Chain A
Amino acid sequence: MIRCLLIKIGRNQRGLPIRAERNVDGDVLRIGRSAECNIHLPDHRVSLHHAHIRHSTDGKLYIDSAHAELNVDGTFVQSAELAVGMMIHLGPYQFVVEAMPQADQLTLSYELLTSQQLDVVADLKNWQPPSLHNLWFNQRRAAWLLVGLIVLGFMLLPMLQATSPQVGAWLQKLSVNPHQLWSSGALSNAHRGSNASCMDCHNQPFQAVANAACLKCHADTAVHGKHPSQKGTSRTNCIECHREHQGGRAMPNRSEGECVRCHADIKRFEPVSRLPNIRDFGHDHPEFQLSIRTGPNKGDLRLFLPSEAQPPRQDPGLKFSHATHIGKVSIPWDQMTVRELKCASCHQPDQVGLGTRPVNFRQHCFYCHQDKLEFDPVVAGRKLPHGSVAELSDTLRDYYAGLAFGSRQTPQWVSASLEHAAKTLTDEEDGCAYCHTIRANADPRKLFEVATVLQNQHWFPAARFPHNRHVTSKCVDCHKITESKDSAEIFIPDLATCRKCHAGMNPVANKVSSPCMSCHDYHFATAKEL
């Protein structure tokens, strides 16, 4: 039986020890966290059964460890004999064996040295959730950073690149081009040269691209308008129609509809103009004005005005009936041979497909009308040259002179024969006059004179008609030649014919929207060389 005086030492607020005594008895004194222990130490650093004090066989008191740490006077031991003044550490507790007031009574004092228990209540009371305002990357910093980046990278740097040559050179050395950050779209293919700089066109900051910038390269672009006062100047700015930065390919033209800005009331902009006012092809466009050829020379033109009472005519100097040259026709000199003639048999498209090539005798007329070149039934098959009356006359003279030389005829016979031949050739039925208009002869070298053949290739010099875009229509849909026997008749379609398929700017059901630029061209508005 062990009798023990247990003294628990606490500390008051001033840190002075307070001793609380109690008696603990037992055969063995168990020390630990467990409630069953005689010396109960409620701390997690103490084991459930940490140690026990027992009598040894020789009657002395021993303290034994029970699978836990036992620190006696600074050394870790399994077992130790209790002696006065001994200091034992059990977890955070310090036990001291004190002097025994009674012989058979053990006196133990203990004190909790370090209170390391978590004081969660205090912790939680002081706990604050992490505030967003205390983040390093707060609103203010983020905003300043963003503003700095944008102002520096997207504003100042491109501006400096344009205004300061040093900065420009420096950036070029780094092969960095901040101007790309300003570009509103890719350049057109033609302007996308490797050396192209923004300042090549944008010469002055905060000013629109000037015509001078365009004319640096496009110096020979024709000027619009033909009045002398406009020579060398242009009323409008290039950029009003031609817009750059619209992506690759060609530079698009936004001129459609822009013509009307001036042409709706042309006198206001050009008081000397004789052009009528035009607003829209669909409903406000004047009747076409044909340029009719009056002679073989340049400028032998007459403008056919819609106000004229008679239908337009142009004497081509040729007798020709479209009606007899269409469909199945037999060859004049061989009634048994039939050929089928179409428009394209004679009117063949030109290389670009806009119009047709001029009709050519050798190519288009000769095969059927070769008999008209024969001049003497005696030498059937012998043909005269076509094209020049002078040449023809020489050929005939040579022929008859040769005949006279061989058969010993007189020069009178030669003259008579030539006269006869000329009469045959200019005969209504069977000579040059079969097609050509024979004129009075002024040149003694020529036996007779033929009127110049006029073929008009440009009925509308200020407009263009792409035939190749109209291949889905038949020729006769627009050119009503099938009944025509008079070669002076003109079968150029009129406004109404075009309007059957073409509307103006605004869309109309089943019609093609046709702005001015469908037929006209701004830079080549002046008449073509005729």
Chain B
Amino acid sequence: MQRLTLLEYKNYRYLKPAAGLVALAVLAYLFHSPVLGPRGDTWLGYTLAVIGAAAVFILAWYGVVRRRIPVLAERRKMTPLTLLQEKNFQERRMNRVRFLRRRASTLQGWLSAHIYLGLATFVIVTLHSGFHFGWNIHTLTYALLIGVIVTGLYGVYAYLRFPRLMTDNLGGDSMSTLLADISELDQLARTNALRLPDEFDAIVQRSSRDTRITGGLLEQLRGRPRLCATRVGIDQLQQLNVALDPAQIQVFRDICSLLLRKESQLKRVRLELMYKSRLQIWLHVHVPLAIGLIAALFAHVTAVFFFW
């Protein structure tokens, strides 16, 4: 049940300080009433700015930790000495399992903290802005932060929701068995089609030739092609108006059921690919935006103090 503990990690260990920080910031904001209204350059504004900037760097550090933890753990655990001490396969396996578990738990803690700190940063930085927005570097920085947080929230949603759906979708099968099944169904349908008149055979051939699992990125994310050649083939077969003898009718029925089964298997494969791509795509926005945010943060601070 790893996906539950992502947010509930160690009885909400990181939710509590994050909520406390947010409550403190909101209270301070409500009781702070500078003459010219709340702005980023009052004492509270600067305090929130320092907290917000520190939070952004801690959040970004997660990206480093994510890459470094395996290395660190490996270095710590897998010294040449330990490697020598691993006398047999069983011991090596156990070491590997222990290392993976520890790594997962450490990363999970970091991720949990990352999520809650990110949400707290949203509130703190919003209060720092004093709700003053314009077409400038300051608001661009804020917009980038919002972008990072929104994509991050989508990531949390994806991590909590899609693995379960993927399991439901695949059931006992795996991607390779599904693909093998599809190719077998396809082969059977084509062999059977040999026994039918040319019109039928041509349709089955075409649908077999034109069927693609998935196309580009957008098609993967959508989870279904605009036009599935298998579906088109089934429709065309059913619309054909050609007299068949009883033996051929039986073959025709077989082909239709084969194609229908192939279509349902294709749908499962495409769903699997859709979940996989949706699990990955947000990170391709999240990370560049986060790095852009750090650059914008530097530009923002420079702009503020250059023309103090």
- Check: B20 CB closer than 8 A to any chain A CB: no
Partner of A132, one of B138, B280, B294, B307: B280
Q: Judging by beta carbons under 8 Å apart, are B132 and A185 in contact?
A: yes
**CA of A209 to CA of B41 in the docked complex: distance in angstroms?**
15
Q: Judging by beta carbons under 8 Å apart, are B136 and A44 in contact?
A: no
Contacts of B206-257 to chain A: CB distance below 8 A: 208-209, 213-217, 220
The interface residues of chain B lying within 8 Å CB-to-CB of A159 are: 302, 306
- Check: A182 CB closer than 8 A to any chain B CB: yes
Q: Give the Cβ gap from A245 to chain B, nearest Cβ, in Å.
A: 9
**CA of A159 to CA of B301 in the docked complex: distance in angstroms?**
13
Q: Give the Cβ gap from B48 to chain A, nearest Cβ, in Å.
A: 16
A47, A125, A155, A256, most chain B CB atoms within 10 A: A155
Partner of B220, one of A129, A158, A243: A129
Partner of A154, one of B195, B281, B303: B303
Contacts of B69-121 to chain A: CB distance below 8 A: none
Q: Judging by beta carbons under 8 Å apart, are B35 and A143 in contact?
A: no
- Check: A180 CB closer than 8 A to any chain B CB: yes
Q: Judging by beta carbons under 8 Å apart, are B34 and A143 in contact?
A: no
Contacts of B33-63 to chain A: CB distance below 8 A: 34-36, 40
For the residues of A in contact with B, the DSSP-based class is loop
Q: Judging by beta carbons under 8 Å apart, are A129 and B214 in contact?
A: yes
- Check: A142 CB closer than 8 A to any chain B CB: yes
What 0/1 readout, one digit per residue, does chain A (294-323) give for beta carbons within 8 Å of chain B? 000000000000000000000000000000
Chain A residue at minimal CB-CB distance from B185: A120
Q: Judging by beta carbons under 8 Å apart, are A205 and B306 in contact?
A: yes
**CA of A255 to CA of B35 in the docked complex: distance in angstroms?**
8
The interface residues of chain B lying within 8 Å CB-to-CB of A129 are: 213-214, 220, 273, 276-277
The interface residues of chain A lying within 8 Å CB-to-CB of B137 are: 150, 154-155, 181-182
Q: A120-B187, A243-B36 are in contact. Are A206 and B308 (CB under 8 A)?
A: yes
Q: Judging by beta carbons under 8 Å apart, are A118 and B209 in contact?
A: yes
- Check: B184 CB closer than 8 A to any chain A CB: yes
Partner of B305, one of A138, A151, A206, A256: A206
**CA of A114 to CA of B175 in the docked complex: distance in angstroms?**
32
- Check: B296 CB closer than 8 A to any chain A CB: yes
The interface residues of chain A lying within 8 Å CB-to-CB of B23 are: none
**CA of A105 to CA of B193 in the docked complex: distance in angstroms?**
34
Q: Judging by beta carbons under 8 Å apart, are A198 and B292 in contact?
A: no
**CA of A404 to CA of B63 in the docked complex: distance in angstroms?**
118
Contacts of A159-206 to chain B: CB distance below 8 A: 159, 162, 179-185, 198, 202, 205-206
The interface residues of chain A lying within 8 Å CB-to-CB of B305 are: 206
Q: Judging by beta carbons under 8 Å apart, are B284 and A142 in contact?
A: yes
Interface residues of B (CB under 8 A from A): 34-36, 40, 132, 134-138, 140, 176, 179-180, 182-184, 186-187, 190-191, 193-195, 197-198, 201, 205, 208-209, 213-217, 220, 273, 276-277, 280-281, 283-285, 287-289, 291-292, 294-296, 298-299, 302-308
7 extra interchain contacts, Cβ-Cβ under 8 A, other than A139-B284, A184-B134, A207-B308?
A123-B183, A129-B214, A142-B288, A155-B299, A181-B136, A182-B307, A206-B306
A-B contact pairs, 7 of them (CB 8 A): A48-B197, A121-B187, A146-B291, A182-B306, A184-B138, A198-B307, A254-B36
